[in-house]
Amino acid sequence: MPLSVVLDMESQWGTVMIELDDTHSIELQSWFEPANCPETDFPIQNLPFGMYRAIGSNEPFRACTAIGDHVLDLAAVDAVYLDNLNQLAASGRTTWRQLRSNLSQALSDTSRRSQVERFLTPLDQVELGLPVLSRDFTDFFTSYFHAYNAGKLFRPDDPLTPNFKWMPIAYHGRASSIVLSGTSVCRPWGQIMAPDGSQPTFAPSRFVDFETELGFVVGPGTGFGEMVTIDQAEDHLFGVVLLNDWSARDIQAWEYQPLGPFLAKSFATTISPWIVTMEALAPFRVPAFKRFEGDPEPLPHLRSAANDRSGHVSINVEAHITPALGSPQRLSRANYASSYWNPAQLVAHHTSNGCPLNAGDLLGTGTISGPTDDEAGALLELGKMGQTPVALEDGSTRSSLADGDLLTLRGGCEREGFRSIGFGEARGAVKPAVPA
Cα 142 to Cα 213: distance, rounded to the nearest angstrom: 10
User: What is the DSSP track for 46-102?
Assistant: T--EEEEEETT--SPPEEEEEETTEEEEGGGT-STTSS-HHHHHHH-HHHHHHHHHH
Q: DSSP E strands: which ranges in 307-383?
A: 312-313, 316-322, 329-335, 362-364
**Phi and psi, residue 134, nearest 5°:** -95, 125
- Cβ atoms of 297 and 303 within 8 Å: the answer is yes
* HSE of 431, CA atoms in CB hemisphere, 13 A: 11
Pairing, β 137-141 against β 362-364: parallel
Give residue 175's Cα distance to chain centre: 15
Cα 238 to Cα 92: distance, rounded to the nearest angstrom: 8
The dihedral built from the CA positions of residue 133, 137, 141 and 142, taken in this order, carries a sign that is negative
Comparing C-alpha atoms, which of 146, 139, 145, 148 is closest to residue 168? Answer: 139
Q: Would you name the residues annotated as active-site residues?
A: 146
DSSP-derived 3-state class of residue 255: helix
